Amino acid sequence: MSHDGAAALLEVRVTSKDHVTAGGRPQRVLQDLQFTLPMGRAGAVVGPSGCGKTTLLRLIAGLDAQYEGAIRLPAGGRLGMVFQEPRLLPWRSVVDNLRIAAPQAREETIAALLMRLGLAEHAGHFPGELSLGLARRVALARALAIEPDLLLMDEPFVSLDAMLARELRGEIAALIDERRVTTLIVTHDIREAIELADRVFLLSTRPARVFTTLEIATPRRALTKAAADALQSEAEAAIEAMRAHGGMRA
Ligand SMILES: Nc1ncnc2c1ncn2[C@@H]1O[C@H](COP(=O)(O)OP(=O)(O)O)[C@@H](O)[C@H]1O
Ligand SMILES: [Mg+2]
């Protein structure tokens, strides 16, 4: 584990987390999973489907307290969460979804956010009238409306077609840079993680731990294709090596 001392905004140390299977047996999902993410940085947690990524996000968000370990957020830290399913209030318009989530936000702030995310013309629409891509944008706008100190996103691009996903990814990258909001994105896509994050945490097979951390030194906008390719190869080699050891701890 790298140490950022007191500067670390997010400090995650999960000694163990178990789920109970349908058969009633405990299943170890996370074990000795540790990482830190400095303030204002974007981190990405990458791992295969079913390895425990959503479980981890729920622990960080405080939605599940049944685990061993410690997770430190800044005192009074405000959390913005974008779930994999947008979870909007169905009988409220887009703009009302934002107002209800962030009652203290000024009308101009909300209008500016909707504009920034290309949602201005949808302000009066209801969630059922939106495509998944638009609903994801609304969920992101809603999370940003509360001016979070930590933004958590669970697979924000999953089930979007490639072009929409790339577009939204570019906008999220720009927003992170612009607002300097500490962000943790969960994804199963290494390339996506490399293009979005300053720090990429690779999760092992279950029970998941962070077995490699990639530091993306280049400013996001300056990351060349060659540099991204090299990082991707490095990540893939590390995953190969981890699998060759059957996910065993070094
Ligand atoms: N509430 C739950 N009860 C029992 N098992 C669960 C629960 N949530 C997740 N699991 C199991 O824990 C493992 C990790 O799930 P999850 O965190 O959703 O993975 P990921 O988000 O990486 O796809 C899976 O085997 C899943 O079936
Ligand atoms: Mg998940």
pLDDT at residue 5 is higher than 70: no
What's the gap between Cα 205 and its chain centre? 19
pLDDT at 75: 55
Number of domains in the chain: 1
Label residue 227 exposed, middle or buried (CB < 10 Å: 0-12, 13-18, 19+).
middle
Tokens in use for 112? 């500016």
Does the CB atom of residue 224 touch ligand 1 within 6 A?
no
Q: Find the 200 Cα to ligand 1 centroid distance in Å.
A: 21
pLDDT at residue 2 is higher than 80: no
Q: Is residue 102 part of a domain?
A: yes
pLDDT at residue 3 is higher than 50: no
Q: Is residue 127 part of a domain?
A: yes
Q: Find the 91 Cα to ligand 2 centroid distance in Å.
A: 26
Q: Is residue 168 part of a domain?
A: no
DSSP count for the chain of H helices, then E strands: 7, 9
Continuous H helices in the chain: 53-60, 94-101, 107-116, 132-145, 162-179, 190-196, 225-244
Q: Is residue 162 part of a domain?
A: no
Tokens in use for 229? 């390719």
Mean pLDDT of the chain: 90
Q: Render pLDDT for 17-34 as a digit per residue (tens, 0 to 9).
A: 999 999 999 999 999 999
Q: Is residue 97 part of a domain?
A: yes
Q: Is residue 140 part of a domain?
A: yes
Q: Render pLDDT for 51-110 as a digit per residue (tens, 0 to 9).
A: 999 999 999 999 999 999 999 986 557 899 999 888 999 999 999 999 999 999 999 999
Strand partners, 188: none
Does the CB atom of residue 49 touch ligand 1 within 6 A?
yes
Q: Which domain holds residue 115?
A: 85-146
Q: Is residue 108 part of a domain?
A: yes
The residue whose C-alpha atom lies closest to atom 6 belonging to ligand 1 is: 19
Q: Is residue 109 part of a domain?
A: yes
